Amino acid sequence: MIELRDYQKRIVSEAVRALDNYKIAYLAMEVRTGKTLTALSAAQATGSKKVLFATTKKAIGSIESDYDKGGFTFDVTVINHESIHKAGTGFDLAIIDEAHRLGTFPKPSNRTQAIKEVCRGLPVIFLSGTPTPESYSQIYHQLYVSSYSPFGGYKNFYAFARDFVHVTQKRINGYTVNDYTDACIEDIRRFIDPFWISFTQEEAGFESEATDYKWLVPLPAASTRLISELRRNRIAKLGDSVILGDTPSKLLAKIHQIGGGTVIDEEGKSHIIDTTKAEYIKRLFKGRKIAVYYLFKAEGELLRRVFDNWTDSPETFQQEESKTFLGQLVSAREGIRLDTAEAIVFYSMAYSYLSYEQTRNRIQSRERRSPAPCCFFFSRGGIDADIYEAVTAKRDFTTAWYRKKHGGI
């Protein structure tokens, strides 16, 4: 049986009190501080007999392992968010991992609606290391899945926004739309503070912080010409295939793809056109244990060709010394542990701050004493560096952001 740390025992007690009083406990614990064991221990302390644990697909193995090691006496169903409709019934308590994924606004996602149905009438423990990464408006639909939400008196997000959001307007693709990101944080906090339990890595005694390092990798002449032709004509030829960048967003996407050595043509076919960046990374980290993250599906195929001894299983990577982990930036950014890696390598970048922040956190743990480097490889002539600039400023990378910086595209 795993022994909880003192701070985890304290948080368990606070969570049980919150569940007794409000039927909700939100554990806003930063990554690698032990959210899973803390939540499972809180479920045990409530006397629950049958617990639902909803998480991401990649995290299921790790959570089941923690459950097995913890010696818990309740039955648990661990299921990914997208399969929640298959979970069944008869639960005493629900644990919603990576709860920020439910926070879309102004309308709830289908996933959020499905989770709400399963959680009807249940006490709920919410877990997230990044509860509101972009706006406090994201809290509404997270708590919406609970029958006991403090905002349950509002029939939908729009009603909630009238009291808790400074609604402004913004232009998207020539249209004026409402912007709901400027939430009234202090007003919202008064409602959620009674069941909100925060805990940081610093409080947990983390000694190593993730540190960013950047490399600029030259593109081969053929890729540089392809990007130049696309920028100039909005269309280019790749053998018999046509590459089209006839809108600003599509043009940026094609440039981004080419920077990683792949591109999708107008017929939807993926092409691997260059392995320069992958080969460079392989040489640079020869003999070292690294986790490599990519964005596009074709980049995953490219990396699997270049790296011989790879795995996409976090558990296998953690246990074996010679493996290289290959993970997609969205599907493998949450709920997994890669702290045995010597470095996290960003082969390419996703457009969101959330992907940047959560992926960096995969390498950290309380036990880690060595540096936690996060290595970014930018293609000369690509847009990786622009994306990095946006997300490190806690902004999502958008066409509008790019235009503002460069004066057009």
Q: What are the tens digits of pLDDT across the range 376-404? A: 999 999 999 999 999 999 888 988 889 88
User: pTM score, two decimals?
Assistant: 0.71
Two structure tokens written together for 77: 């169903």
On whether residue 322 sits in a domain, the answer given is: yes
Two structure tokens written together for 290: 């690294």
Q: What are the b/e assignments for 368-382, b being 16+ CB within 10 Å?
A: beeebbbbbbbbebb
Q: Are residues 279 and 398 in the same domain?
A: yes
What per-residue confidence (pLDDT) applies to 75? 96
Q: Are residues 57 and 172 in the same domain?
A: yes
On whether residue 247 sits in a domain, the answer given is: no
Tally the domains of the chain: 2
Q: What is the Cα–Cα distance from 164 to 173, expressed in whole angstroms?
A: 27
Which segments of the chain have a pLDDT < 70? 1, 173, 205-208, 364-371
Q: Are residues 215 and 357 in the same domain?
A: yes
On whether residue 230 sits in a domain, the answer given is: no
Domain holding 20: CATH number? 3.40.50.10810
Beta-carbon count within 10 A of 196 CB: 18
Identity at 141, one-letter amino acid code: H
Two structure tokens written together for 197: 């339990």
One-character DSSP codes across 29-78: EPTTS-HHHHHHHHHHHTT-SEEEEEE-GGGHHHHHHHHHHHT--SEEEE
Q: Are residues 143 and 289 in the same domain?
A: no
pLDDT 10s digits, 329-375 = 988 888 788 888 888 999 999 999 888 888 887 776 655 556 678 99
3-class DSSP state for residue 309?
Answer: coil
Q: Are residues 390 and 331 in the same domain?
A: yes
On whether residue 136 sits in a domain, the answer given is: yes
Beta-carbon count within 10 A of 329 CB: 22
Long-range contacts of range 301-308, CB-CB < 8 Å, 24 or more positions apart?
A: 301/262, 301/270, 301/272, 302/260, 302/261, 302/262, 302/272, 302/275, 302/278, 303/278, 303/347, 305/272, 305/275, 306/275, 306/278, 306/279, 306/282, 307/278, 307/282
Q: What is the Cα–Cα distance from 200 to 1, expressed in whole angstroms?
A: 25
List the domain range (segments joined by +) for residue 157.
6-204
User: Quick one: how far is CA 143 from the chain centroid?
Assistant: 19
pLDDT 10s digits, 88-109 = 999 999 999 999 999 999 999 9
What per-residue confidence (pLDDT) applies to 371? 67
Q: Are residues 332 and 393 in the same domain?
A: yes
Q: Are residues 198 and 49 in the same domain?
A: yes
Q: Are residues 106 and 82 in the same domain?
A: yes
3-class DSSP state for residue 173?
Answer: coil
On whether residue 229 sits in a domain, the answer given is: no
Tokens 């149905």 belong to which residue? Answer: 117
SS3 for 275-307 is: CHHHHHHHHHCCCCCEEEEECCHHHHHHHHHHC
Where does a domain end: 204, 232, 254? 204
Q: Are residues 30 and 88 in the same domain?
A: yes
360 φ, ψ to 5°? -60, -35
Nearest Cα to 31, choosing from 271, 361, 344, 339?
A: 361
On whether residue 239 sits in a domain, the answer given is: no
- Within 8 A by CB and 6+ apart from 198, the residues are 28, 29
- Within 8 A by CB and 6+ apart from 68, the residues are none
- Within 8 A by CB and 6+ apart from 385, the residues are 214, 216, 378
On whether residue 234 sits in a domain, the answer given is: no
On whether residue 255 sits in a domain, the answer given is: no
Nearest Cα to 73, choosing from 36, 45, 39, 102?
A: 45
Q: Are residues 400 and 290 in the same domain?
A: yes
Q: What is the Cα–Cα distance from 335 to 337, expressed in whole angstroms?
A: 7
Q: Are residues 176 and 278 in the same domain?
A: no
181 φ, ψ to 5°? -80, -25
Helix (H) or strand (E) holding 258: helix 248-259
| Contact by Cβ (8 Å): 254, 274 | no
Q: Are residues 362 and 401 in the same domain?
A: yes
Domain holding 302: CATH number? 3.40.50.300
Beta-carbon count within 10 A of 22 CB: 18
